[in-house]
Amino acid sequence: MMTKEKDNQTPWEDPIVGEVRKVREMLYADSGYNLDELGRRLREKQMLSGRVVVSRSSRPPRDADREAKGVAEQSVRRP
């Protein structure tokens, strides 16, 4: 049974999560709450950082993906 004292307590909040949420809100507000603008600003900041940016090329489908597709194609009957 919960006591009145426990009912009035506020839940514990992680200070790191709170800080991340605060910074995220500031970044989003600075971009006028526009996701395209936020992305543009972040890419610009990334470019100006002077760090090497690594982009992964798309990888070919795995054998399991190809096999699953082949099974799916076989199960479709064509007139």
Question: Of 16, 41, 18, 20, which Cα lies nearest the Cα of 30?
Answer: 41
| Cα Rg of the chain (Å, integer) | 25
What local confidence, expressed as pLDDT, does residue 79 receive? 54
HSE (side-chain half, CA atoms, 13 Å) at 72:
6
- Give the mean model confidence (pLDDT) for residues 40-54: 93
Which is more confident, 70 or 49? 49
| Rounded Cα gap, residues 11 and 59, in angstroms | 45
- Taking a C-beta distance cutoff of 8 angstroms, is the pair 37, 31 a contact? yes
Percent with pLDDT over 90 in the chain: 51
